[in-house]
Structure 1
Amino acid sequence: MSATVPESEGGTIAGTPVRPGRTMLAVGVVLSLLGLVAIVFPFVTGVSISIALGALLVVGALFHVAHAFGAGGWRGFALQALLAGIYAIAGIGLLANPVLGLATLTLLLVGYFLADGVVEVLLGVRMRGESGAMWFVASGVISIVLAGLLWAGWPSTAAWAVGLLFGISLLSSGLSMVFVGMRADRTERRTGATA
């Protein structure tokens, strides 16, 4: 006798209803907690981000090396080898001195916060009239303001600002997801009770 795995059908998994609101709530709580940790330890967070980015760039360099040998012709090989060299130099530089890498990372975070803020504001405007739309707009505005503050203090504040601002952004995004998830979960429970 072989065991079978129950399949998901019609919004249930193994007979248990799937509740997207509860999932969003859980993800929001995790993001909020990670944001609080980053705020409490901003320097460690900044250095960790710098190290993680350096490691990702080195891995990217290895992928470009592997792809270079599969590229057709010497031009394809040369281009992939050049990209591998750029990735490797940037990644090794960040890994060798992550504190100095924070200044460059600060500029990248300015772009991240700005893009994140614009997307969240647009999402909130698109959701206009729906519950939770204002939370996305508020979170987006906070991210845009953080991008401006980070740019204004660059590079002297990069050692602490990267981790702190990243933590605040995570916290605000997490809290917006918590509020939207709580409302969606209430709606799902009401709808389930009347069905």
Structure 2
Amino acid sequence: MGRCSKEDFAKNKRRFYLVGAIMLVLGFVSLSMPLLASFAVETMIGCLLIAAGLGSAFGAFGAVRSGDSPWQQAFMAVISIAAGVIFLTHPLAGVMTLSMLLSAYFLIDGVTKVVEYFRIREIGGSLWILLSGLLGVALAFMMWNNVITGASMIGIMLGVDLVFSGVSFILLGRGCSNISKRI
């Protein structure tokens, strides 16, 4: 902190406030329309899969030109591009796939936490691990049993993350403001 001037803190304060406000607004939009946000996440993942596949394809092509045999890389390129195209052309299937993966994650994470609780139950505060695990298992079953809940959960999680991140950036901006006043 010794090398930062008052102007640096003031400039960063404005940036933190701006980024925090944008994230907060996007978080509330995502929470108000979680299904739409889920489809936006699914579309972004589809585009990322295609980009990763194209990158692998270019890498495989370059390896073939140099005399190597990159069949695994070429295979992964085809799989990535195909998955990305499926996500983009069949968005509902993509959201359902992501929802099932998220449900499986919650189930595995929840069961692991419940098992861990029984190993560390003598430690103070370990009850929170048990509660977190039971919540994870409950979320997994809720997502698995209700298609809309599962699909919306992606947007809800995105919204919650954006709201907390936005608040964090705004608080960092406030911290910069306080430091700039003391310098």
TM-score of the two chains, using structure 1 as the length reference: 0.64
Structure 2 equivalent of residue 24 of structure 1: 16
User: 1:28–1:17: structure 2 CA closer, same or farther, 3 Å change rule?
Assistant: same
Separation in 2 of the partners of 1:39 and 1:109?
19
1:75 paired residue among 69, 80, 92: 69
User: 1:97–1:60: structure 2 CA closer, same or farther, 3 Å change rule?
Assistant: same
Q: Which runs of 5+ in 2 are unaligned?
A: 110-131
1:151 paired residue among 140, 144, 168: 140
Separation in 1 of the partners of 2:104 and 2:164?
16
User: 1:36–1:23: structure 2 CA closer, same or farther, 3 Å change rule?
Assistant: same
Q: Which runs of 5+ in 1 are unaligned?
A: 1-9, 115-143
- Report the CA distance between 1:73 and its aligned residue: 3.5
Structure 1 equivalent of residue 54 of structure 2: 62
Matched, 1:104 2:93: no
Q: Deviations over 1:141-177 (max 9, x none)?
A: xxx89x9365342233222221122111210121122
Matched, 1:91 2:81: no
Structure with the larger RCO, 1 or 2 (CA within 8 Å, 6+ apart): 2
Structure 2 equivalent of residue 136 of structure 1: none
2:175 paired residue among 171, 183, 190: 183
* Cα pair 1:150 1:161 within 8 Å, conserved: no
> Identity over the aligned pairs, expressed in percent?
28
User: 1:169–1:179: structure 2 CA closer, same or farther, 3 Å change rule?
Assistant: same
* Cα pair 2:103 2:150 within 8 Å, conserved: no
Separation in 1 of the partners of 2:50 and 2:139?
27
Separation in 1 of the partners of 2:162 and 2:29?
10
**Aligned-pair Cα RMSD in Å:** 3.0
Matched, 1:51 2:49: no
* Cα pair 2:49 2:81 within 8 Å, conserved: yes
Separation in 1 of the partners of 2:18 and 2:178?
14
TM-score of the two chains, using structure 2 as the length reference: 0.68
Choose between structure 1 and 2: higher helix proportion.
2
Between Structure 1 and Structure 2, how many residues are aligned? 148
- Report the CA distance between 1:89 and its aligned residue: 1.8
- Report the CA distance between 1:82 and its aligned residue: 0.7
User: 1:62–1:73: structure 2 CA closer, same or farther, 3 Å change rule?
Assistant: same
